[in-house]
């Protein structure tokens, strides 16, 4: 194995990387929780923005990282023969220049030396955690030679100042709207209008670049436009204003308006003696309030103020990542997990857009992302997510579908970003999956009876029909109404039932749930008519099982005997009828579903009925049991006596997708994960599936598990994914999200060594930096060469932390009580006999210390001793491998208390 490209320095995620510009496509996130977002590269490229319509700098994708010269630059002019771009653009491979990167959680520092000139620069960038919409950059220049060096500094960053749409939509015309103003401390651009041919609007946003020395000294002049900065025949890599040492401007003229702008600030020439340094400070921001520009400058206009803000920001993100922290005895793993822990927060800030790989979408979140990004927050501070969860349920339609785009305002939704009527069949799974985690973490059964509206738009009957009379401009048009004109509100439990009961009857020819527009795999998007997802049929079955278990616990805990639901929902509770339908009969199921659709079309009655909780449990139990048996009997493929797997899909011709086809095996990982997770697969089948995945899906060179085997041809009757090059994205990549779900499924079924193998394969790839060529993080996937792709903004991070915390360390809630049941193997104690974690439960800080002095495997150890501090907290050993602490006993402690539980394995 090649030596690593980067190495961690401390336990807080900080790492160093020598000459990082030698690796292409690297980028790093900078942001704060008020959603000021930026990306930065070793050459200080990247963009700065607050959203789709407000980019301070030119929007970039990963392909722009190496072919675009725009970036944060700092030029040092010594004489006509020596002018140095201190950010390394254009990249220089001269032996006299070297680079070192040092970075931590959301701060980035590049040190670049030039021995020919005799100077070193240290450039630090971060977005202050205090919430201002500004990126701060500190440039410290030091004389590393044996003689005095005189130079003239000029900073430069092009100002795009408009919507990302305008990169290709009227790029020149929108620059004509720019109004550029030279201030004593920088450049301010305020376009006159926001250009949109559907309706132009007056612009209220200011885009600014400010600068000063570390002691508050101001620039001596500026170059306000690209034209004035690069000069005729020049470019950003060789600007005439720097190379020819032009005099800067003191004010703008008419000729500078309506041009592409730049924040190019010239400072006074300076002489540094050996070892002497000088600091320059820059502020790159966006604001609607002109007065805020001055206040930001005053807050950060000295070296001491910048250093104080950086310290505050580092401390802020450290506290964030401390919410769930692991001590595994392995320096690299512990630090890497810090980065994985912060990734869900990055998804919350960036959504699924606004980093270079994510060159799609216009901001906002998708439905699936919304729920899965809550997982880590739920594990840390579940009470803080209650209102968010409740608001999200308002995005569900009465036909079991949902809005797919979530706006920044909680509880407000958009049907689809591209205004295309489509349905993802898996979307009904995630709200209950997330809600159940919340209930386990809190014991809050009352949340089930909170009432929320249903989303409404022109889509009816799972996008099979359209309401032509729907008026999007009517004030309450986004809510389902009753026939007497009132907004209808149903309980959260009712919303959950709608999503799962509809899907039970929404089946294809083979009696599995229809694939519709796609499932979790967005690339399976060409089988809407006859496609079926066996994989997610299993997940719906699992959720139906968990709903029955929840109802049983609800009845036991609260003594509740009856529930109230919408009258129309009785149609789908057929086992409560005198004449239940035959579940083996596809036509009967389809007819019943259409009867329900007709009953809830456009408006519902608003009438409620009281049902017996035992009868509901009985109805749901028959449904999940039928699904389990159906998949077991119909979809198992016995490849040989030792290996087998489930068929996961049917295509748009109604044909089975997986199995031995034309002499080769076609197999998907998704098709195996959910039969295991749900319990559909027997223990014997789980063993055979794992053998099959090792044989057919495991990459022998890279060690990871691929999403599917090579189907050898495009699959126009299944989806676009198979037209991608094999090994890329949804066509056979090592897809982190599904791999983590595979690991969780195995752990959940007590296949501990197998689960460890899968989780470890992702960690090993991610930290093998010569192969993955990424900074520390868990990317969306690893391609055929092992390169990490789509860094930082992936739902797999939430699942990874959840699996590590709740399955590997076994720290989880069970209807509000704390349960600890670790699932560990001897190898995890190779460097130390003790591992630990720290997290929150019941809003109290807890630490769990696990000692395994004999380094036993899971199947060989028991919990032989339990110690707890403070001692007055009762702890009960509920089995040889599990202990339990009542929530009420933790809540009795002071909210600032810290409880330590120590388990001795033997």
Residue range 372-415, pLDDT digits in tens: 888 888 998 888 899 999 999 999 999 999 998 776 666 667 66
Report the C-alpha gap between 120 and 125 in whole angstroms.
17
Q: Using the predicted structure, report yes or no on whether residue 240 has a pLDDT greater than 60.
A: yes
Average pLDDT over residues 613-618: 97
Q: How far apart are the first and last CA of the chain?
A: 36
Asked if residue 780 lies in contact with residue 790, where contact means CB atoms within 8 angstroms, the answer is: yes
pLDDT in tens, 823-833: 999 999 998 99
Confidence of residue 126 (pLDDT cuts 50, 70, 90): very high
Asked if residue 139 lies in contact with residue 280, where contact means CB atoms within 8 angstroms, the answer is: yes
Q: How many helices (H) and strands (E) does the chain have?
A: 21, 51
Peptide bond into 131 cis (omega under 30): no
Q: Among residues 267, 326, 299, which one has the least CA distance to residue 141?
A: 267
Tokens 């060096």 belong to which residue? Answer: 149
Asked if residue 740 lies in contact with residue 759, where contact means CB atoms within 8 angstroms, the answer is: yes
pLDDT in tens, 247-274: 999 888 888 899 999 999 999 999 999 9
Q: Name beta bridge partners: 459.
A: 466
pLDDT in tens, 159-189: 999 999 998 888 999 999 999 999 999 999 9
Report the C-alpha gap between 842 and 863 in whole angstroms.
24
Helices (H), 574-612: 586-600
**How do strand 149-159 and strand 180-183 relate by DSSP bridges?**
unpaired
The pLDDT of residue 88: 86
Tokens 């985690």 belong to which residue? Answer: 437
Asked if residue 262 lies in contact with residue 274, where contact means CB atoms within 8 angstroms, the answer is: no
Percentage of the chain exceeding pLDDT 90: 86
Confidence of residue 91 (pLDDT cuts 50, 70, 90): low
Q: Using the predicted structure, report yes or no on whether residue 95 has a pLDDT greater than 70.
A: no
Q: What is the pTM of this model?
A: 0.96
pLDDT in tens, 637-650: 999 999 999 999 99
């Amino acid at each position: 194995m090649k030596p690593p490209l980067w190495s961690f320095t401390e336990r807080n995620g900080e790492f160093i990387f020598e000459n990082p510009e030698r690796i292409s496509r690297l980028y790093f996130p900078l942001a704060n929780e008020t959603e000021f977002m930026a990306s930065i590269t070793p050459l200080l490229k990247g963009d700065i923005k607050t959203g789709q319509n407000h980019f301070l700098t030119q929007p970039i994708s990963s392909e722009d990282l190496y072919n675009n010269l725009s970036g944060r630059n700092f030029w040092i002019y010594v004489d006509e023969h020596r002018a140095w771009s201190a950010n390394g653009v254009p990249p220089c491979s001269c032996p006299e220049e070297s680079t070192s990167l040092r970075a931590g959680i959301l701060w980035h520092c590049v040190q670049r030396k030039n021995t020919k000139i005799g100077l070193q620069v240290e450039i630090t960038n971060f977005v202050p955690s205090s919430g201002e919409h500004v990126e701060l950059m500190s440039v410290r220049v030091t004389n590393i030679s044996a003689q005095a060096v005189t130079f003239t500094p000029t900073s430069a960053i092009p100002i795009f100042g408009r919507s990302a749409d305008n990169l290709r939509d009227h790029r020149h015309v929108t620059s004509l709207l720019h109004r550029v103003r030279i201030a004593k401390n920088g450049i301010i651009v305020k376009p006159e209008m926001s250009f949109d041919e559907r309706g132009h609007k007056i612009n209220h946003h200011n885009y600014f670049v400010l600068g000063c020395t570390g002691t508050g000294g101001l620039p001596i002049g500026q170059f306000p436009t690209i034209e004035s900065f690069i000069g005729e025949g020049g470019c950003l890599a060789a600007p005439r204003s720097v190379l020819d040492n032009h005099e800067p401007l003191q004010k703008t003229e008419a000729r500078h308006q309506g041009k592409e702008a730049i924040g190019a600030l010239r400072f006074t020439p300076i002489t540094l003696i050996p070892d002497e340094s000088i600091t320059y400070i820059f502020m790159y921001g966006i604001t609607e309030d002109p007065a805020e520009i001055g206040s930001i400058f005053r807050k950060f206009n000295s070296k001491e103020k910048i250093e104080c803000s950086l310290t505050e920001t580092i401390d802020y993100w450290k506290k964030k990542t401390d919410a769930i922290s692991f001590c595994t005895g392995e320096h690299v793993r512990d630090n890497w997990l810090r980065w994985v822990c912060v990734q869900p927060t990055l998804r919350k800030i960036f959504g699924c857009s606004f980093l270079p790989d994510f060159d799609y979408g216009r901001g906002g979140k998708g439905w699936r992302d919304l729920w899965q990004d809550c997982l880590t927050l739920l594990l840390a501070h579940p009470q803080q997510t209650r209102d968010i969860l409740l608001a999200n349920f308002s995005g569900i339609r009465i036909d079991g579908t949902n809005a797919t785009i979530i706006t920044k305002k909680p509880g407000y939704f958009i049907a689809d970003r591209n205004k295309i009527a489509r349905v993802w069949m898996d979307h009904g799974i995630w709200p209950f999956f997330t809600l159940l985690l919340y209930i386990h973490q809190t014991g809050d059964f009352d949340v089930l009876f909170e009432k929320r509206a249903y989303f409404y738009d022109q889509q009816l009957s799972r996008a099979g029909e359209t309401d032509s009379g729907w008026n999007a401009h009517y004030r309450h048009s986004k809510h389902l109404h009753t026939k007497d004109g009132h907004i209808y509100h149903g309980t959260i439990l009712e919303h959950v039932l709608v999503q799962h009961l509809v899907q039970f009857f929404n089946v294809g020819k083979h009696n599995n749930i229809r694939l519709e527009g796609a499932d979790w795999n967005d690339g399976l998007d060409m089988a809407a008519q006859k496609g079926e997802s066996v994989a997610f049929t299993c997940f719906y079955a699992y959720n139906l099982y968990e709903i029955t278990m929840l109802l049983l616990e609800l009845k036991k805990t609260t003594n509740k005997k009856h529930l109230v639901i919408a009258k129309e929902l009785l149609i789908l509770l057929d086992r409560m009828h005198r004449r239940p339908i035959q579940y083996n009969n596809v036509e009967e199921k389809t007819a019943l579903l259409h009867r329900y659709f007709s009953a809830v079309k456009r408006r519902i009655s608003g009438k409620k009925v009281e049902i017996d909780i035992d009868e509901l449990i009985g109805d749901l139990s028959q449904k999940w049991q039928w699904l389990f048996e159906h998949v077991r009997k119909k979809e198992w493929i016995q490849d040989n006596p030792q290996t087998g797997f489930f068929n996961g899909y049917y295509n748009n011709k109604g044909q089975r997708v997986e199995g031995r086809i034309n002499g080769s095996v076609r197999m998907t990982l998704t098709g195996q994960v959910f039969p295991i997770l749900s319990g559909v697969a027997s223990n014997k089948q789980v063993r055979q599936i794992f053998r099959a995945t090792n044989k057919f899906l495991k990459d022998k060179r890279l060690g990871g598990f691929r999403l599917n085997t090579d189907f050898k041809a495009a699959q126009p009757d299944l989806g676009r994914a198979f037209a991608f090059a094999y090994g890329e994205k949804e066509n056979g990549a090592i897809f982190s999200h599904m791999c983590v779900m595979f690991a969780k499924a195995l752990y959940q079924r007590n296949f501990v060594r197998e689960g460890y193998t899968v989780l470890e394969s992702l960690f090993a790839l991610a930290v093998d930096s010569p192969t993955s060529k990424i900074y520390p993080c868990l990317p969306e996937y690893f391609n055929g060469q092992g390169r990490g792709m789509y860094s930082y903004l992936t739902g797999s991070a939430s699942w990874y932390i959840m699996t590590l915390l709740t399955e590997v360390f076994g720290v989880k809630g069970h209807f509000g009580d704390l349960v600890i049941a670790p699932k560990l193997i001897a190898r995890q104690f190779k460097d130390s006999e003790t591992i630990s974690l720290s997290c929150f439960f019941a809003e109290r800080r807890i630490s769990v210390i696990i000692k395994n002095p004999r380094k036993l495997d899971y199947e060989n150890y028991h919990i032989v001793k339990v110690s707890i501090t403070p001692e007055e907290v009762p702890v009960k050993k509920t089995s040889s491998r599990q202990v339990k602490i009542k929530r009420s006993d933790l809540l009795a402690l002071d909210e600032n208390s810290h409880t330590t539980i120590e388990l001795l394995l033997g």
